Structure 1
């Protein structure tokens, strides 16, 4: 991403490596890990929901007597799992992004909880759901494809494993 100074329209960074170098110089090694706590909270909880939802929906939608979900079941289960996971992940994603874009010379946020409190205090609870609609619109088709690919790889490895 690129931060643009309000004083001019010139980007602060000239690329990924330049960004890395500038952040390390201005903020030290720790500057490269801003937002890490929010990222961990986001990914741990949403990943758990993601896989549990997929598994539960596949099991629920698969007809009795079949041991593997069909193509349509995989598509729907994957899509809904992605949407639900992003529904849970979006608030922490907002906090993570705010922490990461906090300029080193400003230090508006002291940490995850402070960032969340200040954001909600200034903009209301709805701030935590910025981008939720777009995340969900994107998540459904992307995760349909992810789980169709996942199931295809499982079936392919089963096929080759059982041949030997």
Structure 2
């Protein structure tokens, strides 16, 4: 493992933990909106009324444990992919020279990293959503569907995470000052927050479909895969259901992703990798 990958790995871990802790209450509301077709206010009110403040953190342990290392893999593979695609040195494409190729490489490297992260996080998301919606435990899934059942909803997760990861880095780099010497912390907060909003809001329908599939009853499922879930959601609730949770996702994305990039960048600087 080279030092560059190790730095990306460590910084990604720190950023991932900060992202989860900051955004988890918003994520709980979003999942309950998407699964129960509730309004933002209803999801918030019912959670607070019946479960108290800790209800917003229900299921936090699994993503908190897993998101650190998975985010490490995410940034680690991003670093490796960007190095392979873009190269290094004065002749490599950058935001100053050959911007089109540079941003294309950013998108491709981010998408590759998103694929590997989705492979790690799918079982974690499944367990998390089960706890957030009180639908079932992971033991039930394994009992009826084996270990492969932990990858229920993997296809919409791929559709969600691969392109958004590419968009993520493109928007982040694009919003930073042209002169990298002028970058301040508030620039990173601004760029990281908007990168999160742009990436997840662009593929929200995939997130809704993933939530419904993963929250489905493993014994008596309503949905028979991605296409069937999409068709039934549209027939029963119309096109609006595919954009359920957009306001709360926007509210979550900015602070959570801003904290992730701040944690990542601070750690990279601490390790002398920036």
Measured against the shorter chain, the TM-score band is 0.7 to 0.9
CA offset at residue 63 of structure 1? 5.1
CA contact (8 A) 2:135 2:215 kept: no
Residue 163 of structure 2 is matched in structure 1 by 45
1:136-155 equivalences under 5 Å are 136-155=250-269
1:6-155 equivalences under 5 Å are 13=136, 19-58=137-176, 62=177, 64=179, 66-67=180-181, 69-155=183-269
Tell me, in whole angstroms, the C-alpha distance in 2 between the residues paired with 1:12 and 1:144. 31
Q: Residue deviations 1:101-120, cap 9 Å, x none?
A: 22234333222122112211
Closer/same/farther in 2, CA of residues 81 and 12 from structure 1, 3 Å limit: closer
Higher helix proportion (structure 1 or 2): 2
Q: Residue deviations 1:75-98, cap 9 Å, x none?
A: 110110111112024211110111
Tell me, in whole angstroms, the C-alpha distance in 1 between the residues paired with 2:258 and 2:218. 39
CA contact (8 A) 2:193 2:255 kept: yes
Kindly tell me the number of residue pairs found equivalent between the two proteins.
145
Tell me, in whole angstroms, the C-alpha distance in 2 between the residues paired with 1:20 and 1:104. 10
Closer/same/farther in 2, CA of residues 147 and 118 from structure 1, 3 Å limit: same
Relative contact order (C-alpha < 8 Å, sep 6+): which is higher?
2
Tell me, in whole angstroms, the C-alpha distance in 2 between the residues paired with 1:67 and 1:2. 45
3-state SS of the aligned residue for 2:271?
A: helix
CA contact (8 A) 2:196 2:257 kept: yes
Tell me, in whole angstroms, the C-alpha distance in 1 between the residues paired with 2:139 and 2:178. 55
TM-score relative to the length of structure 2: 0.48
CA contact (8 A) 1:86 1:132 kept: no
